[in-house]
């Protein structure tokens, strides 16, 4: 017995020595994407793997590039608005809003109060839809089908409201330079309250199913973490930054529209892992509904009235007058064929989109065509530190991290 065990020991020792001496290992290169079922968004990851751990990651974007800026430089100021819809198709209104308010800044016009409250309603509905997509899809990609369906039902209800208000569900094209497309339909307020009641139920079910689910928590907790100083160095904004404990929200810090008159909270996380990001988005949905309800109260008190600036050079006159009066007909004709002339100058305006700071830097040479339309895309900028977030982590951690970054190809690649 003794001799056998002695023999066994020696041979194992020899084997151990062999393993450490001769075992040849090399890193594996893995191509993930550009169209991978577990990443919603067209992006390619070139991953260097040591076993299952990520050693290096090269994120390659651009698959959805379609020349947004070049197209904007060839139409009128108005004709760029539908292109902004296609930037972030989850929250198109926010992109409309950022662009139109940047043009308004150049034109130095202020929109009527009713318009401003309506814009907040539309933006918060868009934010709600965006966060529902983000959280729902994150569950789906971690193999949790049920919460995804709850999220999508809630998103359908949100899109129903957006459709009532804007006339379209996804590419809503609602905000105009100097106003909005039209005011609220009569039964909108009642429908909103009804849908919100159902969305709140769905969100509760959503939370009950997923938040204490062991698999979900294991994959979200402590994954994708980088410190807040690093996030700031990479100019990451939005829920990602707030989840790391920095309460930076343009709606509070540099309020635009009527956000300074609205009572709402900015949720922040502690360590900035994927779980914190998820919780921040969940809470922002609740806050968005709270904001919309306050806006509806105010809009009901304001009653019917104009939603556009009274400036025919910017916003065309009401149809009743166009059809009956010569002067207004000419104004509408000029407005459609040429659109507003914007005085030469430059302006930057940013709104808090669902992903962070969505900014537009516009340069005008004084004509009716923009000289330069630059969109600061939060999706692109938030995606940049992804290699830092997953360095040394498992390959599988890329999925929840990428989900919570919520890169939208249309906005990232423009």
Partner 1 sequence: MMEHQASPILDLLIEQCAKDIVDTHARFGDATVVVKSASLLEVMETLRDGRGFEFDMLMDLTAVDYLGQTPRFEMVYHLYSVAKNHRLRVKARVPRIEATDSSFNGHEFVIASVSKIWPAANWLEREVWDMYGIHFQGHPDPRRLLLYEEFEGHPLRKDYPKEKRQPLIGPRN
Residues of this chain that interact with partner 1 (CB under 8 A) are 61-62, 65, 67, 69-71, 74, 105-106, 108, 232-235, 246, 248, 253-254, 345-348, 350, 357, 359, 361, 363, 371-372, 374, 376, 380-381, 384-385, 413-414
Task: Give the separation between CA 185 and CA 167, rounded to whole angstroms.
Answer: 10
* Shortest distance (Å) from residue 8 CB to partner 1: 53
Residues 6 or more apart in contact with residue 185 via CB below 8 angstroms = 164, 165
Indicate the residue among 62 and 317 with the shorter CB distance to partner 1: 62
User: How many other C-beta atoms are found inside a 10 Å radius of the C-beta of residue 330?
Assistant: 12
Half-sphere exposure of 376 (CA within 13 A, CB side): 21
Indicate the residue among 323 and 348 with the shorter CB distance to partner 1: 348
Indicate the residue among 153 and 411 with the shorter CB distance to partner 1: 411
Question: Tokens 């169209």 appear where?
Answer: 35
* Shortest distance (Å) from residue 222 CB to partner 1: 23
Indicate the residue among 148 and 360 with the shorter CB distance to partner 1: 360
* Shortest distance (Å) from residue 91 CB to partner 1: 19
* Shortest distance (Å) from residue 363 CB to partner 1: 6
Indicate the residue among 184 and 358 with the shorter CB distance to partner 1: 358
Indicate the residue among 68 and 148 with the shorter CB distance to partner 1: 68
Residues 6 or more apart in contact with residue 144 via CB below 8 angstroms = 209, 210, 213, 215, 216
Looking at residue 317, the DSSP 8-state letter turns out to be: P
* Shortest distance (Å) from residue 346 CB to partner 1: 8
Whether 55 contacts 27, CB under 8 Å: yes
Whether 94 contacts 175, CB under 8 Å: no
Looking at residue 91, the DSSP 8-state letter turns out to be: S
* Shortest distance (Å) from residue 365 CB to partner 1: 9
Task: Give the separation between CA 217 and CA 211, rounded to whole angstroms.
Answer: 7
Indicate the residue among 163 and 253 with the shorter CB distance to partner 1: 253
Task: Give the separation between CA 367 and CA 76, rounded to whole angstroms.
Answer: 9
Dmax (CA) of the chain:
113
Indicate the residue among 78 and 248 with the shorter CB distance to partner 1: 248
> Which string of DSSP letters, residue by residue, matches 65-82?
---HHHHHTTS-TGGGHH
214 to each of 144, 209, 220, 262, how far by Cα in Å?
12, 11, 10, 37
Residue 364 dihedral angles phi and psi, to the nearest 5°:
-120, 140
Residue 201 dihedral angles phi and psi, to the nearest 5°:
-60, -45
């Amino acid at each position: 017995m003794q001799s056998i065990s002695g023999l066994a020991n020696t041979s194992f020792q020899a084997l151990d020595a062999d393993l450490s001496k001769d075992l040849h290992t090399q890193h594996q290169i893995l191509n993930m994407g550009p169209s991978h079922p577990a990443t919603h968004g067209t992006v390619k990851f070139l991953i260097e793997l040591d076993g299952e751990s990520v050693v290096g990651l090269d994120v390659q974007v651009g698959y959805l590039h379609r020349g947004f800026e070049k197209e904007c430089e060839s139409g009128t100021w108005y004709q760029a608005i539908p292109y902004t819809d296609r930037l972030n198709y989850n929250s198109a209104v926010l992109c409309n809003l950022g662009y139109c308010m940047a043009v308004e800044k150049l034109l130095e016009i202020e929109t009527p109060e009713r318009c401003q409250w309506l814009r907040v309603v539309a933006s918060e509905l868009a934010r709600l839809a965006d966060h529902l997509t983000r959280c729902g899809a994150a569950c789906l990609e971690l193999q949790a089908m049920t919460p995804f369906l709850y999220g999508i039902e809630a998103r359908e209800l949100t899109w129903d409201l957006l459709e009532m208000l804007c006339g379209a569900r996804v590419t809503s094209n609602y905000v105009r330079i100097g106003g909005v497309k039209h005011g609220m339909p009569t039964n909108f307020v009642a429908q909103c309250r009804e849908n919100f009641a159902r969305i709140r139920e769905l969100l509760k079910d959503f939370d009950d199913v997923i938040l204490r689910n062991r698999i979900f928590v294991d994959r979200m907790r402590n994954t994708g973490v980088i410190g807040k100083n690093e996030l700031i160095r990479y100019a990451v904004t939005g829920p990602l930054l707030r989840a790391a404990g920095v309460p930076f929200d343009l709606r509070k810090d540099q309020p635009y529209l009527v956000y300074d008159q609205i009572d709402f909270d900015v949720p922040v996380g502690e360590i900035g892992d994927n779980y914190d990001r998820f919780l921040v988005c969940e809470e922002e949905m609740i806050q968005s509904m709270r904001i919309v309800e306050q806006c509806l109260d105010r809009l009901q008190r304001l009653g019917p009235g104009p939603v556009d600036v009274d400036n025919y050079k910017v916003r065309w006159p009401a149809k009743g007058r166009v059809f009956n009066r010569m002067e207004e007909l000419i104004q509408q004709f000029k407005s459609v064929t040429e659109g507003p002339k914007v005085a030469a100058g430059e302006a930057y305006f940013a709104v808090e989109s669902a992903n962070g700071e969505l900014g537009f830097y516009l340069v005008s040479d004084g004509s009716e065509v923009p000289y330069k339309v630059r969109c600061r895309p939060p999706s692109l900028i938030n995606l940049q530190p992804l290699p830092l977030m997953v360095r040394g982590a498992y390959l599988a951690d890329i999925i929840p991290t990428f989900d919570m970054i919520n890169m939208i190809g249309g906005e990232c690649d423009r």
